[in-house]
Structure 1
Amino acid sequence: MVKNFAKQYINGQWKDGSSEKTLKNINPYNEDEIFEMNSASDKDLDAAYQAAADVQQTWAKTLPAEKQQLLDRVSQIIDERKEEIINWLVKESGSTHIKAELELSVAQRIIKESASFPYRMKGQIMASDIPGKENFVYKNAKGVIGIIGPWNFPFHLSMRSVAPAIATGNTVVLKPASDTIVTAGTLIADIFEEAGAPNGVINVIAGRGSEIGDAFVQHPIPKVISFTGSTEVGRHIAKQAGEHIKETALELGGNNVLIVTEDADLEAAAESAAFGKFMHQGQICMSINRILVNQNVHDSFVELFKKKVETLAAGDPSDEKTVIGPLINNSQVERIQSDVEESIKQGAKILIKPEVDGNLIHPTILTNVTNDMPIAKNEIFGPVAPILSFKTEEEAIRIANELPYGLSGAVHTSDLHKGVELAQQIESGMVHVNDQPVNDEAHMAFGGEKDSGLGRFGGEWVLNKFTTEKWISVQKERRQYPFFE
């Protein structure tokens, strides 16, 4: 049942978009049309931002307990509607059941962490060098937050901004990716509505980027634009936001490495690599993009890794045994095929052949890969695993840092001290020793360096991102000014 999911949600009302253009919601596995809806126009966007602005001050002054109760109720509703949400993730984003379960779990942790934020809006009392003066620093909500949700982990990555923004007294306008209108947008609004969110606290605008994308960022009302997506689009958003003196929270692309040293536990490394590469078909910003293996253990690792990958079932994501589901659309399939073919021309060797069936690419492994091949230097965002060989750890670090991304990474070694030393040298916002790069904990600093984004999500970092500080001083006794001495 589609319910209101094919509509805009503005100021507590479900409405058809006023654009003459439409959006089609397509199941990426069988390419069936789920629904077609009217797209949002500039008029709808303005109404959503105005609704958010009208209620923001009232919401900011709402008691901390009421904000916390709202988020607690949201979490409870997600538990009650778990199967419905999972089914939407499967049919709309091509999620397998394993991935959908994981996505709900991390989203719930974000909500529960955010529920503590109303009581963590701490100010300060500070000393002054001026006689009789007392300084106060107040922490306040930023105002209205514009959030652009992605299609790969749509429910979690939209909620990752929505929950903390609302918890800290902001109101939001959420623009979901066109491929995942429901799970990145209207489903979230429906849950908050059921939880009792006041009208205007959350608004969802589904529209074409070509029609409302620039206006979403340039509109005078939002104080912060939160975006998760490609570096190319993120760079465009940052440029526009900068021109309008808006703050951004940008989590962008990644080209993440997993380094396997000579002394690593190869069995553990192979399992780690298989999960970190093929979870959600590799369509995760943190997914392994390049597997770097010491030449002395290369062949042994490759043999173990191949055996692990051959056990991963690809097919219909609605089948609970499926591990590898479809890519989000055919343009992604064509892009990846092109990079694989060009890399093979440049000398890469096929260990497991890239079988393609519609939007489904079966798990693929390439060896003899170098950093300048398309399958290594481009963000893959698909189920292809390139394996590169290195002689020394210094060479591995050079290969890791050679490309402009810096989101996540991993190192496998039996020497934990050495693992931390190598992690420190990788130019990345996050690195995990004896694990894989796909990690997201609600209380930790999540974000990247270089072309992988600006700012941090999670815990106190996102709390600070969505709040601002105001200095108020109080002069308790008459001040003597040098003009009148």
Structure 2
Amino acid sequence: MGVTRELLIGGRETPAASGRTTEDRDPYTGEVYATVAAAGPEDVTRAVDAAHEAFPAWAALAPFARRAIFLRAADLLDARSEEAATLMAHETGGTRAWAYFNVALAANILREAAAAVTAPRGEVLSAQQEGTLGLAVREPLGVVAAFAPWNAPLILGVRAVAAPLAAGNTVVAKPSENAPIAAGYFVADVLREAGLPDGVLNVVTNAVEDAAEIAEALIADPRVRAVDFTGSTRTGRVIGEHAARHLKPAVLELGGKNSVIVLDDADVDYAVEAAAFGVFMNAGQICMSGDRVLVHERVAEEFTRRFTAKAAALPTGDPGHPHTVVGPLVSTAAARRVAALVQDAVAAGATVLTGGGKPRGAVHPPTVLSGVTREMELYHTEIFGPVCVIATFADDATAVALANDTENGLTCGIITENATHGLAVARRVHSGIVHVNNQSVADEPHAPFGGVKASGYGRFGGRWGIESFSNTRWVTIADRQARYPF
């Protein structure tokens, strides 16, 4: 393919100061898809220089002008859906259906950001002193460091920058080494074509071995005023520690160990369809994927039989084929990691209902297990692959206890035909998101998105995203002179 990209700094593409580059490989073929610049700390400083210089003008730009850029970008993104699908297939192994979903949601995130630009901000406060008007005013922070992951590169690449930019900040984006084009340059290209001024969004790519150094340099720069990170809990802990050390606010959306709970009053046909989507979409490489399907014992036998048969029949392999449902994982190493988790569980007594075995390159077969116990690593670890565990329960209390038996708390799906019953269970599940009569994978750009416990803190989406990347100031105006005691 021969795609080559340099660092995007101040509206211009420029090589890394060292001249180094790094390869971006197609996970299905193993071939090099793109070559991108491999930044060093000095390049991070140059990117922050550009963002800092661009900040005053961008923050002062008329809201309607800023809003128009986001609306144009949304339309441009929609128009480039075929290009995005090809890009995602080569860079991350994403299927065409997953790519089209990425485009649609990412475009709507941009439209929501456009709406947020002109939404009312701030409040008029009741002042204690007579003749004084109190105001709570929201203002942009400055430069935001945005880290975008590879698994939903357009959705999360856009989400990483949309709210910070809409709030009036400038951004230095560091996309994942596994998706530097889709999660970084492609997003920046669309926004620049829509009219985003030079320096407002800068993209810094790096070699895998330099990731920690680049992240630390970016967060440590005193002109960076907030951190925006989506990724694994392990890496998120490190990012959070760096941000805390420099007294900078951070929004961290981290890993999940999510459950889909099938209650005794569920429609089994619907439950099978919903759970299969929640488990196997994007080969299970979604922070919201259902690692565990918890099924009431009354419907467990029928559900397990139908669900296992559906998983076994899912088309797998080439992400470029229009009918493929489960494409490759992001790398052969990722597929081997998932296979090792399955093998470890089986060796300790778990049962493979379908799938298992060795992956074909980066393609791991859809796999369903039962009999997984707390002593097994797979019970606790986020799988991030096309694998799930089925477990049964006899009552709501047991279902809730199983769902909550994890350090994570991102999302949960509850399948039921009784909304009142589902809501009662939902209120007892410890997660930032719960979907009653739906599975665990759902996202809307205007809703507060984020987790609890080790799934992170802070919220993306709608006004919550704007609040995360702006500062509230208290301003008073007195219409008379005050009297002082001395």
TM-score category (smaller protein): over 0.9
| TM-score calculated relative to the size of structure 1 | 0.97
Question: Aligned residue for 2:26?
Answer: 27
User: Which 10-residue stretch deviates more, 210-219 or 40-49?
Assistant: 210-219
Question: Aligned residue for 1:125?
Answer: 124
Mapped partners of 1:210, 1:246: distance in 2: 18
Question: Aligned residue for 1:274?
Answer: 276
3-state secondary structure, aligned to 2:439: coil
Q: Which amino acid aligns with 2:436?
A: V
Mapped partners of 1:343, 1:214: distance in 2: 36
Matching of residues 76-475 of structure 1 within 5 Å: 76-207=75-206, 208-355=210-357, 356-475=359-478
The answer to whether the Cα contact below 8 Å between 1:406 and 1:448 also exists between their aligned partners in 2 is yes
Q: Which amino acid aligns with 1:221?
A: R
3-state secondary structure, aligned to 1:411: strand
Mapped partners of 2:334, 2:452: distance in 1: 25
The answer to whether the Cα contact below 8 Å between 2:36 and 2:205 also exists between their aligned partners in 1 is no
Q: Which amino acid aligns with 2:191?
A: F
TM-fit CA distance, 1:20:
5.3
Question: Aligned residue for 1:478?
Answer: 481
Mapped partners of 1:18, 1:90: distance in 2: 31
The answer to whether the Cα contact below 8 Å between 1:370 and 1:388 also exists between their aligned partners in 2 is no
CA RMSD in angstroms comes to: 1.3
3-state secondary structure, aligned to 1:175: strand
The answer to whether the Cα contact below 8 Å between 1:286 and 1:407 also exists between their aligned partners in 2 is yes
Q: Which of structure 1's runs of 4+ aligned residues deviate more than 4 A?
A: none
Q: Deviations over 1:28-74 (max 9, x none)?
A: 01110013233011111101111111111111110011101111111
Instruction: Decide whether aligned partners of structure 1 residues 338 and 123 sit closer, same or farther in structure 2, where only a CA change above 3 A counts.
Output: same
TM-fit CA distance, 1:391:
2.1
Q: Which amino acid aligns with 1:368?
A: G
User: Which 10-residue stretch deviates more, 451-460 or 372-381?
Assistant: 372-381
User: Which 10-residue stretch deviates more, 179-188 or 11-20?
Assistant: 11-20
TM-fit CA distance, 1:2:
5.6
TM-fit CA distance, 1:121:
4.4
Mapped partners of 1:187, 1:7: distance in 2: 13
TM-fit CA distance, 1:347:
1.4
Mapped partners of 1:76, 1:147: distance in 2: 23
The answer to whether the Cα contact below 8 Å between 1:127 and 1:134 also exists between their aligned partners in 2 is yes
Mapped partners of 2:151, 2:34: distance in 1: 19
Mapped partners of 1:50, 1:18: distance in 2: 15
The answer to whether the Cα contact below 8 Å between 1:410 and 1:431 also exists between their aligned partners in 2 is yes
Mapped partners of 1:373, 1:105: distance in 2: 38
The answer to whether the Cα contact below 8 Å between 2:339 and 2:364 also exists between their aligned partners in 1 is no
| TM-score calculated relative to the size of structure 2 | 0.97
Residue 47 of structure 1 pairs with residue 49 of structure 2: no
Q: Deviations over 1:308-350 (max 9, x none)?
A: 2233100100001100100001221121111111111221111
The answer to whether the Cα contact below 8 Å between 2:284 and 2:385 also exists between their aligned partners in 1 is yes
User: Which 10-residue stretch deviates more, 377-386 or 364-373?
Assistant: 364-373
3-state secondary structure, aligned to 2:313: coil
3-state secondary structure, aligned to 2:145: strand
Question: Aligned residue for 2:69?
Answer: 70
User: Which 10-residue stretch deviates more, 396-405 or 272-281?
Assistant: 396-405
TM-fit CA distance, 1:249:
0.6
TM-fit CA distance, 1:414:
2.3
Instruction: Decide whether aligned partners of structure 1 residues 260 and 93 sit closer, same or farther in structure 2, where only a CA change above 3 A counts.
Output: same
Q: Deviations over 1:428-457 (max 9, x none)?
A: 000111111110001111100000011111
Instruction: Decide whether aligned partners of structure 1 residues 165 and 121 sit closer, same or farther in structure 2, where only a CA change above 3 A counts.
Output: farther
Mapped partners of 1:455, 1:291: distance in 2: 27
Q: Which amino acid aligns with 1:420?
A: L
TM-fit CA distance, 1:203:
0.2
Q: Deviations over 1:63-115 (max 9, x none)?
A: 01110111111112112222111110111011000100111111011011100
Mapped partners of 1:80, 1:231: distance in 2: 34
Aligned length: 482
Instruction: Decide whether aligned partners of structure 1 residues 371 and 267 sit closer, same or farther in structure 2, where only a CA change above 3 A counts.
Output: farther
TM-fit CA distance, 1:21:
4.1
3-state secondary structure, aligned to 1:438: coil
Mapped partners of 1:456, 1:21: distance in 2: 36
The answer to whether the Cα contact below 8 Å between 1:121 and 1:168 also exists between their aligned partners in 2 is no
Mapped partners of 1:19, 1:433: distance in 2: 52
Mapped partners of 1:442, 1:81: distance in 2: 20
Q: Which runs of 5+ in 2 are unaligned?
A: none
